Amino acid sequence: MTPTSPSSATDTAHLRAGEIEAQASTETADSAEAAPRTRTSAIERAVQILDALQETARPATAYEIARMVGAPPSTVYSIISDLVVRNLLARKPDGTIWLGSRLYGYGLSYASSLDYLGVASEEMQALSAEVGETVQVCGLVEGMMVVLQMAEGPGHFRVTSRVGSRVPLNWTASGRLLVAHLPDAERVAFFRRHAKPSPTGRAETRADVLARLAREALDARLSIQIGESDASVACLASPVIDNSGTCVFTISIVMPEAKAAKGTEPFAEAVRTVAARIETRLGWQHRQSESIG
């Protein structure tokens, strides 16, 4: 057995002490990194809960919400309780959960910061009165078309997509336009990720075809879809494009399919004219010369 010198024993002790210190430092760093992940997870769950309630458009029990977001009921119950205390969610007398009043204040503050929505709302109301049909302003949220504003027409025809509704991009005339400004490869990739079959089975789902149709619609300043998401509904949309060439939102006329089948030309002209006018009012005039015709 080889004897150990005092100096080597000391060196070994120092090495072990260094290893222990390094391990402790690593564990501390890992712990510090883990904390943000835990907080992020809780925030993500909260967002999932809010999204689930918005998509179902009705109050739901905590158990139903847990099933919708695919999370353990105990986790969801805890997060719901925290959100209820902060008025981000509200508990109804029957025990179901709905969106809280605090969200309304956030929504108002956000809407007031978007000047274009004020202009769009005025033009939307005027267009609805002119054509006698429902008119919507739509934007893009997380790969889905979302209805930002809506003016209902005076008739009995009612559309199912209300303000806040999210619809796959390939189901609607507006959806195609909202990503039509993207480069070709990005547009194809976007539709490949987000296109879904529609209830009628008539919506196009091939990414390359959707990408081509989207670009053609943008160039024409008009997108038309009839009966693709709903067998009785037609939609004509025109893009509102900013000075960078991005389709910021769309304005669209929603009408009965039977009415559109008789001719869409007057409605197409009206919606393109209004989209161009919105661009002019917002100072987005780079395409104004191309906007009509």
Q: Which two tokens stand for residue 63?
A: 């158990």
Angle at Cα 196 formed by Cα 216 and Cα 165, nearest 5°?
90
Confidence at residue 209, expressed as pLDDT on a 0 to 100 scale: 94
Show the domain range for 275. Answer: 114-290
Same domain, 72 and 28: yes
Same domain, 170 and 73: no
Last residue within a domain, chosen from 102, 126, 150: 102
Q: What are phi and psi of 241, to 5 degrees?
A: -115, 130
Confidence at residue 42, expressed as pLDDT on a 0 to 100 scale: 84
Burial of 27 (0-12, 13-18, 19+ CB in 10 A): exposed
The reply to whether 132 falls in a domain is: yes
Which residues, 6 or more positions from 210, have their beta carbon under 8 angstroms from its beta carbon?
169, 170, 176, 191, 195, 204
Alpha helices in 114-196 (DSSP H): 115-131, 173-178, 184-194
Same domain, 44 and 128: no
Mean confidence (pLDDT) of the chain = 81
Q: Best-predicted range by mean pLDDT among 127-136, 158-167, 199-208, 230-239?
A: 127-136
> What single-letter amino acid sits at 157?
F
Reference 52, options 79, 26, 13; nearest CA is 79
**In the chain, how many domains are there?**
2
Tens digit of each residue's pLDDT (9 = 90 or more) over 138-197: 999 888 999 999 998 776 555 656 677 888 988 889 999 999 999 999 999 999 999 898
Angle at Cα 168 formed by Cα 163 and Cα 171, nearest 5°?
95
The reply to whether 109 falls in a domain is: no
Confidence of residue 124 (pLDDT cuts 50, 70, 90): very high
pLDDT at 6 over 50: no
The reply to whether 186 falls in a domain is: yes
Same domain, 164 and 275: yes
Q: Find the range with the poorest average confidence among 12-21, 94-103, 244-253.
A: 12-21
Tens digit of each residue's pLDDT (9 = 90 or more) over 16-63: 444 434 444 444 444 444 444 444 478 888 999 998 998 888 999 999
Exposure class string for 58-87: b at 16+ Cβ within 10 A, else e: ebbebebbbebbebeeeebeebbeebeeee
Last residue within a domain, chosen from 102, 132, 166: 102
Confidence at residue 37, expressed as pLDDT on a 0 to 100 scale: 45
Same domain, 46 and 167: no
Beta bridge partners of 145: 140, 167
* Ramachandran category for residue 241: left, alpha or beta (phi over 0 → left; psi -120 to 50 → alpha): beta
Q: What CATH number did the domain enclosing 46 receive? A: 1.10.10.10
3-state SS class at 252: strand
Q: What CATH number did the domain enclosing 216 receive? A: 3.30.450.40
